[in-house]
Amino acid sequence: MRLAKIDWALGAVLATMVVAVSACGSSSRTSSSASLPTTIGNGEGQLNLVAWEGYTQPEWVKPFEAQSGCHVHSKYAGSSDEMVTLMRQGGGQYDMVSASGDASLRLIRGGEVTQMNVALVPEWKNFIPQLQSPSHNTVDGKHYGISLQWGPNTLLYNTKSVTPAPTSWSVIYSPKFKGEVTVPANPIQIADAALYLSKTQPSLGISDPYELTEAQLNAAANLLKQQKPLIKKYWALASDEIELFKNGDAVIGAAWPYQYSTLIADHEPVQQIIPKEGATGWADTWMLATHAKDPNCAYKWVNWVSSPKVQAEQAISYGETPVNTKACPFMETIQKGSCSLYHANAPAAYFDSIKFWKTPVAECGNGQSDCMDYSKWQQKWTEVTG
C-alpha cells in the first residue's frame, strides 16, 4: 500500500463526528457518521480477535484483561488472504482483525468492517501524521480502523551457514542455498520479486511492485518459479519459519522482525537486514467487524494497545515500529537504544522508503487500467507454488 501522507487535524476529524448520537454497543452497525458511538460502555466480558502471530502476547494481554474484564481469544492467521476469509466467513464470530494494507481495503469494500470513532481513542492525536488517516484504512474521511504498528519485511539468515554476509535479495534466488530457503506462503510475495526485478532488470519498467502489467507480473512469477526448487518450505505462520531455522532446515529466507527477535531471544545465530534493493513492508490496523458482538471491549482494546507503554512493549517484542510518537521513552526504559533500533524516532524519509503492502488493482498509478488485479496475482501464485 502506498500510504497517503495526510496530516488531518484532530479538531477537523472531531467536527465530522459531532453528529454522532448512539452509544457503543448499539444495535446499529452502519458506517454512517450519524451512528458512530460517542462513549465506550461497559465491556461485554470477552473479545475475539483475528491477529498476526505475536500481536496478542501475554505481557500486554493479561494486564488488559485484568483492567477491562474483557477476556481475549485470538485466532492467528498466516496471511492477509486468511484474515479476509475468516472475517467474511466468521458469521460474527470475530470482533476485530489486525489487517495489513493488502487486506484492509478488501474488508472495507466488502462490508466486513465498520467505521470507528477516533474521538474515542485519545492517543490517536499522538500517532505519526502518516498513520492518522492513511489511505489503507481511511476512505472519504471515514476511519475504518485504528493504526497499530509498522515495519519492513527483512532478509533473515543463519550467520554460521551463510557467508559472507548477504547484502542483496539475490541470495534467496541462488542455487547455492538449494533446499535451505524459505519465504511466506502468500501471493503478496510476488511484490518482493517485483521489487528485486525493479532494481536488477530496470528494462522491465517496474516503478511500483504492486502495480504490475501482465508482462511485469509474468516476469516476477517466472523468477519465483525458478526459485521454487530452492525452497524448503513456504511458511504460513511466523512460528513455522522459526522452527525451520531452529532445526537447521532453512538457513536463509524472507521474514518479519518477529522471527528475528524470537530466534535471538533463543540464542540462535541469526541476523536480519534490509538488502540494497530495499524492502516491502506493512502498516497494520485494528479494524472493527461490522457485526462485532463485543464493540465496547474492542474500543477498550484499541485504547490499550494505542497507549505509549503498550506500543513500546509490542514494538520491542515484535521488532517493529510504534505509531504512537510518545512510545520512545517507554522503549528506552525497557531496552536502552531500542527507540533508534526500531526507527521510532526516524525521519519521514525512512517511512517513505518502504514499499508498503497494498491490494493490487487494475488501475495503475499512471491513469491506465492495464495492471493485473489481485485475482491475477492469486492465479500466478498458484502457478508458482502448485
Q: Please count the residues of the chain.
A: 386
Q: What is the pLDDT of residue 4?
A: 31
Residue 382's contacts (CB-CB under 8 Å, 6 or more residues apart) are none
**What pTM does this model have?**
0.82
Tell me the pLDDT tens digit for each residue of 128-173. Answer: 999 999 999 999 999 999 999 999 999 999 999 999 999 999 999 9
Q: Which domains occur in the chain, in start order?
A: 10-150+282-343 (3.40.190.10), 154-278+357-385 (3.40.190.10)
Residues 315, 299 contacting (CB under 8 angstroms): no
User: Would the pLDDT of 7 be above 90?
Assistant: no
Q: End-to-end CA distance of the chain: give it in Å, rounded.
A: 27
Span 312-325, average pLDDT: 96
**Exposed/middle/buried for residue 109 (C-beta within 10 Å: 0-12, 13-18, 19+):** exposed
Q: Give CA–CA dist 127/122, Å, rounded.
A: 10
139, containing H or E segment: strand 138-139
Angle at 284 between CA 60 and CA 53, to 5 degrees: 50
Buried b (16+ CB within 10 A) or exposed e, 77-98: bbbbbbbbebbeebeeebbbbb
Give the β-pairing of 154-158 and 252-255. antiparallel
Which range, of 12-26, 301-315, 364-378, averages the lowest pLDDT?
A: 12-26
Nearest to 7 by CA among 100, 127, 113, 109: 127
Assess contact for 133 and 6: CB atoms under 8 A: yes
Which residues are CB-neighbours of 221 under 8 A, at least 6 positions away? 190, 193, 380, 381, 383, 384
State residue 19's pLDDT score: 30
pLDDT, averaged across the chain = 90
* 380: phi then psi, degrees, rounded to nearest 5: -65, -40
Rounded Cα distance, 278 and 113, in Å:
32
Whether residue 17 has pLDDT greater than 80: no
One-letter amino acid at 210 equals: Y
